[in-house]
Chains A and B, each alone.
Chain A
Amino acid sequence: ILNVEQSPQSLHVQEGDSTNFTCSFPSSNFYALHWYRWETAKSPEALFVMTLNGDEKKKGRISATLNTKEGYSYLYIKGSQPEDSATYLCAFRDNYGQNFVFGPGTRLSVLP
């Protein structure tokens, strides 16, 4: 059974703070790593799909890095805003294609 972990489980930051979370996944048989944002009462929204070791992707104030050799990815949010409050999920896909495993998520609350 593949294990995808995320830390921290939850996070409270003040508006304007920068923050980051970690996703840990198996370092073997890597195919892709996805990041999603899931706001309460809404559908998950894709943030990034990362496939290459050393990938760095950016969307506005949010960016992500990928290290497939050691099995981790970081998600960074610069200058957090209350609308960034959501659960951030990562998902690992292996190169057999059969496994697409989500982490438990990091719940971010940005206080105004």
Chain B
Amino acid sequence: KAGVTQTPRYLIKTRGQQVTLSCSPISGHRSVSWYQQTPGQGLQFLFEYFSETQRNKGNFPGRFSGRQFSNSRSEMNVSTLELGDSALYLCASRAGGGDGNEQFFGPGTRLTVL
């Protein structure tokens, strides 16, 4: 079974631009969560989607948004990029919505904002 894939793996943008990151979950998984990893803040939860609906959201500004498609693939969008948005963005998928399910992480997208 293929693992979680994320595209692109690396991205360079400038301040004020917007960016869209993509995540394809493991086949059959319906839940996709997004995380941001920065040296200063550690790993932080962005949001979780399950069956095309946002279930949970972390404490991030509205510039961070996401969506999930009927095939469970998910995209994350960041508008009006700031220097502080430079980070590793990870997505993770799990089979069901219950918290007892193990999460499987993708390799991440490294975003650099200049």
Residues of A within 8 A of B (CB): 1, 31-32, 34, 43-46, 49, 51, 89, 91, 93, 97-105
Chain A residues whose C-beta falls within 8 Å of the C-beta of B92 in the assembled complex: 44
Verify if B107 is at the interface (C-beta below 8 Å from A).
yes
Rounded to whole Å, the gap between the CB of B99 and the closest CB of chain A is 4
Rounded to whole Å, the gap between the CB of B51 and the closest CB of chain A is 15
Verify if B106 is at the interface (C-beta below 8 Å from A).
yes
Main secondary structure of the interface of B (DSSP, over half): strand
| B94 nearest CB neighbor, chain A only | A46
Residues of B within 8 A of A (CB): 4, 33, 42-45, 48, 55-59, 90, 92, 99-108
Choice from B4, B57, B59, B99 contacting A93 with Cβ under 8 Å: B99
Would A45 and B105 count as touching, CB distance under 8 A? yes
Q: Could you list 17 A-B pairs, sorted by A, with CB under 8 Å? A: A32-B99, A32-B100, A43-B105, A43-B108, A44-B43, A44-B90, A44-B105, A49-B101, A89-B43, A91-B43, A93-B99, A97-B55, A98-B57, A99-B45, A100-B45, A102-B45, A104-B42
| A100 nearest CB neighbor, chain B only | B45
Main secondary structure of the interface of A (DSSP, over half): strand
| A95 nearest CB neighbor, chain B only | B99
Would A49 and B99 count as touching, CB distance under 8 A? yes
Would A102 and B99 count as touching, CB distance under 8 A? no
Chain A residues whose C-beta falls within 8 Å of the C-beta of B57 in the assembled complex: 98
Rounded to whole Å, the gap between the CB of B77 and the closest CB of chain A is 20
Would A97 and B103 count as touching, CB distance under 8 A? no
Chain B residues whose C-beta falls within 8 Å of the C-beta of A98 in the assembled complex: 56-58
Would B43 and A102 count as touching, CB distance under 8 A? yes
Would B90 and A43 count as touching, CB distance under 8 A? yes
* Given A1-B59, A44-B43, A97-B55, 12 further pairs, Cβ under 8 A: A43-B108, A44-B90, A44-B92, A44-B105, A46-B102, A49-B99, A91-B45, A98-B56, A98-B58, A99-B58, A100-B45, A100-B58
